[in-house]
Amino acid sequence: MDSDEVTFSGGEALFASLFDDAALFPPGDAPMAEAVPAHRRHRTSWYAGFVGPFICADTRLAELPADLVISVVVTGGPGAIERLGPLPNAVALEVSGVADPADATAAVAALRGRTGGVGDTAGFVEVPRTACLPVLDALAGTGCFAKFRTGGLQARAFPSEAELAEAIVGCVGRDLPFKCTAGLHHAVRHTAHDTGFEHHGFLNVLLATSAALDGATAAEVSGVLALRDPAAVADRIRALGEDRVAATRRMFRSFGTCSIDEPLEDLAALGLIGMRTTTATVTTTTTATGQERP
């Protein structure tokens, strides 16, 4: 992205590759024949620098063109990692089906066999809400990263501010980078008008991560996640310095979203990015919400 696409110092780095393209997943459920061309348009657009890899479940890899840069969701748990074929264009493997620290340890071992634990292919392990901190302990220092589910198709799929704050503080305290997925494609904490679900905002998560890096307690981080005033949240984002942006994004790597347009719309509405004419449907208003499950 060009420097004139962001409206404050540090914005280019703060939003770089932040939005992983989960168009295949609910609630978007885009057909592969539409999702792949749309991703190619995203990757050649003026906002390409904001867009991460195309997320695809391991069960659908045969449908993909060979040249697409992807992040693969391993749906069968740690044991399914070893059954994956060659994935030369995979920049990440995201393992689901982990229930406890033993599963996490198995996932790490299998991921190391594919990624070496470091390097060009990142390994993420989805952290179960019922065993969050013990699983973070199992992941710490391994070279693999955490993945948190921040929403879904039912209200109970959304963690509270306190629960997500504990996870973020847990990662920062263990120097364990993480990504998020589901329900996070709007910028600021809000109640969805169509479902009544309480959604986290991705800008809140960025600010919460920054606060945790400053040594904030879980209660204080929860307060940041609870902020609902868009202007106040945007002002806090603009106040982040270059070093803090780098540290925050080192920790909070990205999030999966079935819509690339909606995060862009919100950033533009907040005055944090400029807009250009694009083939995507991008406006400067916040629209309906939804929940995805990559």
CA–CA gap between residue 164 and residue 37 (Å, rounded): 34
Contacts of 235 (CB under 8 A, 6+ apart): none
- Residue 64, helix vs strand vs coil: coil
H/E run at residue 21: strand 19-21
Q: Which residue has the higher pLDDT, 151 or 85?
A: 151
Give yes or no for residue 4 having a pLDDT over 70: no
Query: Is the confidence at residue 87, as pLDDT, over 80?
Result: yes
**Which one, of 154, 166, 100, lies nearest residue 127 by Cα?**
100
* Count of residues in the chain: 294
Give the pLDDT mean for 200-219: 98
pLDDT (average), residues 34-56:
97
Q: Is 289's pLDDT higher than 80? A: no
Neighbours of 112 (CB within 10 A): 16
Query: Residues 292, 22: contact at Cβ < 8 Å?
Result: yes
Residue 132 has pLDDT above 80, yes or no: yes
SS3 273: strand
* pLDDT number for residue 294: 63
- For the stretch 262-278, pLDDT in tens is 999 999 999 999 876 44
User: How far, in Å, CA of 34 to CA of 54, rounded?
Assistant: 13
Q: What's the N-to-C CA distance of the chain in angstroms?
A: 26
pLDDT of residue 275: 75
By C-alpha distance, which of 117, 48, 119, 110 is closest to 79?
Answer: 110
CA separation for the pair 286, 195 (Å, rounded): 16
pTM score, whole prediction? 0.92
Mean pLDDT of 116-128: 78
Structure tokens at 109: 């071992």
Task: Name the band, by pLDDT with cuts 50, 70 and 90, for residue 78.
Answer: very high
Mean pLDDT of 236-261: 97
Whether residue 293 is predicted with pLDDT greater than 80 in this model: the reply is: no
- Asked if the peptide bond before residue 27 counts as cis, ω within 30 degrees of 0, the response is yes
Confidence check: pLDDT of 9 > 80: no
Q: What is the pLDDT of residue 281?
A: 41
User: Considering the chain, what percentage of its residues have pLDDT values greater than 90?
Assistant: 83
- Output the six-digit token pair for 127: 């952290």
Mean per-residue pLDDT, 154-182: 98
Q: Which helix (H) or strand (E) holds 116?
A: none
What is the average pLDDT across 60-67? Answer: 95
Average pLDDT over residues 115-137: 85
Q: How much of the chain, in percent, has pLDDT values that exceed 70?
A: 90
The yes-or-no verdict on residue 284 having pLDDT over 80 is no
Average pLDDT over residues 174-182: 98
- How big is the chain by its Cα radius of gyration, in Å? 18
**Model confidence pLDDT, tens digit, residues 89-98:** 999 999 999 9
Query: Residues of 222-258 as b/e, b for ≥16 C-beta within 10 angstroms?
Result: bbbbbbeebeebbebbbebeeebbebbbebbbbbbbb
- Mean pLDDT score across all residues of the chain: 91
